[in-house]
Amino acid sequence: MTTIHDVARHAGVSAATVSRVLNGHRTVDETLAGRVRAAAEQLGYQPNILARNLRKSQTNLWAVIISDVNNPFFTSLVRGVEDVAQQAGYSVLLCNSDENPDKESSYVTAVLAQQIAGVIISPSTRSESIAQLVDGSRAVVTIDREVSDVDTDAVLVDNERGAQAATAHLIEQGYSRIACITGPNDVTTATSRLRGYRDALREAGRPYDDDLVRFSDFRETGGKQAMADLLDSGVRPDAIFATNNLMTVGALETLAERGVGVPDPIGVVGFDELPWADLVRPSLSTVAQPTYEVGRTAAQLLLKRLENPAEEYTTITLSTKLNVRDSSRR
């Protein structure tokens, strides 16, 4: 293995100069710099990243902490992060927290121990982990969910507007008893989307009825149960707005099992695009989030933060897009 000293000897300079040239630090005489670059090239020199890491007490790694790579919402987000990271010379560590605060916290500990440069995290409900990261002076960007108590850069999506558009669309299609299956009420995405739903009802002069709302868990089984419950409880909804992709799937399962027709008698719109929304019959109306863009944007914020740790924190909110398909059109 060729080291920086080999290059130095070969170029007739000191190791420090080689380091300066290769890292673009300070100004180095062009003649020397040329000799160094030539020597490095000739010897096929590859800097030892581990040594650099130790010296700088920092790795060239990012961690992305999400609840589950199996959720298509996250895969394309991860993809967006990775594309930016790679270009900037960082590698991406993948951490699945499974919405489990303990698992999340154990990853945070690992991140701190590994001296990861930066973290992009979709936080679970507790904010301690985030605080821990910020205290450990890691660059942190939160995505998807808002965190109170702790200041960080953040990339969010306009959940309220998205939910409002979805609900307004159902109203406009003539549905009158629109139910909402949302997530846990301590998760901001769940409450924002519920708020959008309520706003749309109010704007249309429709009553808001608690009986038509179910707080579930953002999981498939939860959506399935909530849907069954809505059908069984006698509230007779004629449309469903489900606030994430997994619960939408669950709701559809119940409807299919019971032989209830979509969009008639029951219309469906789900939050989150699904790769197969166009393929199902009827095709599924969704509120699409720009997931790849969320990942890209978060990565860019992280990059900025690493370059300039003192800068003001930024929150970027991206827009959703309502994709009207057959499941809500009658």
Partner DNA sequence: CTGTTAGCGCTTTCAA
Partner DNA sequence: TTGAAAGCGCTAACAG
Q: Please identify, using beta-carbon distances, which residue of 29 and 151 lies nearer to DNA.
A: 29
Interacting positions 280-319 with its own copies (CB under 8 A): 280-281
Work out which of 27, 30, 44, 70 binds its own copies, going by CB under 8 A: 70
Q: Residue 45 and residue 48: Cα distance in Å, rounded?
A: 9
CA distances for 275 relative to 207, 221, 272, 320, angstroms: 34, 20, 10, 16
Neighbours of 79 (CB within 10 A): 14
Which sign, positive or negative, has the C-alpha torsion 82, 87, 90, 91? positive
Q: Which of 10, 20, 214, 224 is the binder for DNA (CB under 7 A)?
A: 20
From candidates 24, 31, 279, 312, binder to DNA by CB under 7 A:
31
CA distance 81 to 295: 5
# binding residues, its own copies (CB under 8 A): 41
Contact call for residue 72 and its own copies (CB under 8 A) = yes
Q: Is 137 in the site for DNA (CB under 7 A)?
A: no
Q: Which stretch binds DNA (CB under 7 A): 14-22, 124-132, 144-152, 183-191?
A: 14-22
Distance CA 189, CA 176 (A): 24
Q: How many residues would you count in the chain? A: 330
How does 81-103 read in b/e, with b if 16+ C-beta sit within 10 Å? Answer: bbebbeeeebebbebbbebeeeb
CA distances from 56 to 24, 53, 87, 88, 116 (A): 16, 5, 21, 18, 12
Contact partners, residue 166, CB within 8 Å, separation at least 6: 196, 197, 200, 241, 269, 271, 285, 287, 322
Nearer of residues 150 and 280 to its own copies, judged by Cβ = 280
Residue 139 Cβ, how far from DNA at the closest point, in Å?
17
Cα–Cα distance between 268 and 329 in angstroms, integer? 9
92 vs 247 by CB, closer to its own copies = 92
Separation CA 155–CA 264 (nearest Å):
37
Scanning 52-60, 83-91, 156-164, 299-307 for contacts with DNA by CB under 7 A, the matching segment is 52-60
Q: Kindly write out the interface string for residues 234-253 of this chain, putting x where it contacts its own copies by CB under 8 A and - elsewhere.
A: ---------------x--xx
Minimum Å gap between C-beta 40 and DNA is 10
DSSP assignments along 230-265, one per residue: HHHTT---SEEEESSHHHHHHHHHHHHHTT--TTTT
Q: What tokens does 258 get?
A: 């019971």
Closer CB to its own copies, 278 or 307, in the complex: 278
Of 18 and 231, CB closest to DNA: 18
Q: 98 vs 186, which CB is nearer to its own copies?
A: 98
| Cα radius of gyration (the chain) | 25
Residue of 34, 38, 42, 56 that binds DNA (CB under 7 A): 56
Among 28, 92, 247, 268, binds its own copies (CB under 8 A): 92
Q: Which residues bind its own copies (CB under 8 A)?
A: 46-51, 53-54, 57, 59, 61, 68-70, 72, 75-76, 78-79, 82, 91-96, 110, 113-115, 249, 252-253, 256, 274-276, 278-281
Q: Which residues bind DNA (CB under 7 A)?
A: 1, 3-5, 12-20, 22-23, 25-29, 31-33, 47-48, 51-52, 54-57
